[in-house]
């Protein structure tokens, strides 16, 4: 069921989103080669708790951490570990969510560690561009399929592929709400967005094939050809003025 938020509820989601923005900015300032992914997760947990909020992901469906940390060929849902060390030249996607005053926010950034090669840098850049293409002219009445169409068109024009097995989603009191928001599809299709809807739009773009493998741990998703993937996500709201990004 799609939930329509009232203006005061979107204001509360903005507070959650602002905290998440600050968290991701902080993580971007401290992430470095030689750090374990678990250490980064501990930093995030402390930041969230000290801010009076709750990590959305910790315990969600049994997930054991506050962050999903996905390196190079891991698309999403990488489990932080003391045994996974971040290395120079890697791209590291950090997906985080917080609950503040009962309201969720969800966002992801792909960080470049040190001297990253041009191919990976371009992938990260185009993935971010895909998000901003997706929200161009987004407003009350826009078919949800336009979002995926714009992401897919921009990604494929740059020689990349769009993950199809995972999609964006509605968000609010719950982390995952209706509707699903695919990163691929046909323009003019799907439900029409309405003022008061809040969405997590999250392009997941692969350097090679769009196909992915779900690993036996039940969480980690890797590209089937083991080429790099990047992830960029924000929580947005449909308003009188079009679209507002709540986590940026």
- CATH code (residue 130): 3.90.230.10
In total, the chain counts a number of residues equal to 248
Measured at the CA of 39, the angle between CA 35 and CA 41, to 5 degrees, comes to: 125
For 56-106, give the DSSP string: SSTTGGG--SSEEEEETTEEE-PPP-TT-B--TT-EEEEEEEEEETTEEEE
Q: Specify the DSSP element, H or E, that contains 11.
A: helix 7-30
| Residue 28 included in any domain | yes
| Residue 75 included in any domain | yes
Report the number of distinct structural domains present in the chain.
Answer: 1
Spatial distance between the Cα atoms of 136 and 131, rounded to a whole number of angstroms = 9
| Residue 213 included in any domain | yes
The residues pairing with 180 across neighbouring beta strands, listed in sequence order, are 169
Strands 204-206 and 229-231: antiparallel
Task: Output the tens digit of pLDDT for each of the chain's 248 residues.
Answer: 899 999 999 999 999 999 999 999 999 999 999 999 999 999 999 999 999 999 999 999 999 999 999 999 999 999 999 999 999 999 999 999 999 999 999 999 999 999 999 999 999 999 999 999 999 999 999 999 999 999 999 999 999 999 999 999 999 999 999 999 999 999 999 999 999 999 999 999 999 999 999 999 999 999 999 999 999 999 999 999 999 999 99
| Residue 1 included in any domain | no
Query: Closest Cα partner for 100 from 4, 30, 11?
Result: 11
| Residue 2 included in any domain | no
Q: How many contiguous H segments (helices) and E segments (strands) does the chain have?
A: 4, 15
For the whole model, what pTM was predicted?
A: 0.96
| Residue 93 included in any domain | yes
Range of 18's domain? 7-245
Give phi and psi for 180, each to the nearest 5.
-70, 145
- Residue 39 is classified by DSSP as H
| Residue 15 included in any domain | yes
């Amino acid at each position: 069921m799609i939930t329509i938020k009232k203006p005061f509820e979107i204001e509360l989601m903005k507070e959650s989103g602002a905290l998440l923005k600050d968290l991701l900015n902080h993580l971007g300032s401290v992430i470095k080669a030689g750090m374990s992914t678990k250490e980064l997760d501990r930093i995030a947990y402390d930041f969230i708790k000290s801010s009076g909020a709750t990590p959305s992901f910790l315990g969600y469906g049994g997930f054991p951490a506050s962050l999903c940390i996905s390196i190079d060929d891991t698309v999403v849902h990488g489990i932080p570990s003391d045994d996974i060390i971040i290395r120079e030249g890697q791209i590291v996607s950090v997906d985080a969510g917080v609950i503040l005053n009962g309201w969720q926010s969800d966002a992801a950034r792909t960080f470049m560690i040190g001297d990253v090669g041009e191919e990976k840098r371009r992938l990260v850049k185009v993935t971010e561009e895909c998000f901003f293409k997706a929200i161009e002219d987004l407003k009350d009445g826009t078919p949800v399929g336009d979002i995926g169409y714009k992401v897919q068109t921009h990604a494929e024009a740059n020689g990349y592929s769009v993950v199809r097995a995972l999609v964006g989603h509605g968000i609010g009191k719950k982390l995952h709400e209706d509707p699903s928001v695919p990163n691929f599809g046909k323009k003019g299709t799907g439900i029409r967005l309405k003022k008061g809807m809040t969405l997590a739009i999250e392009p997941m773009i692969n350097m090679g094939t769009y196909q992915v493998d779900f690993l036996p741990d039940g969480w980690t998703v890797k590209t089937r050809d083991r080429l790099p993937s990047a992830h960029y996500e924000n929580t947005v709201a449909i308003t009188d003025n079009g679209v507002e990004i709540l986590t940026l």
